[in-house]
Amino acid sequence: MLDLGQGVGVVKMVIRVFTLNIVARTGKIQRLLSNEHELMTGGTAA
């Protein structure tokens, strides 16, 4: 059986993994969008 402290730690770890996955995914999407924008404009975006 998990005690309350371990349960909270596991929940926090799961939430952290979820947020990291979401941030990584949105970061990839933004990078893809900026790359497409660079290709369309022919310049380099900031």
DSSP the chain: ---HHHHHHHHHHHHHHHHHHHHHHHHHHHHHHHHHHHHHHTS---
Is the pLDDT reported for residue 43 higher than 80? no
What the block records as the tokens of 1 is: 């059986």
Q: Are 38 and 44 in contact (CB under 8 A)?
A: yes
**pLDDT value for 5:** 80
* d(C-alpha 9, C-alpha 23), whole Å: 21
- In this predicted structure, the answer to whether residue 45 has a pLDDT above a threshold of 60 is no
Residue found by looking up tokens 């799961």 in the block: 14
What tens digit of pLDDT does each residue of 6-41 get? 888 999 999 999 999 999 999 998 888 888 877 777
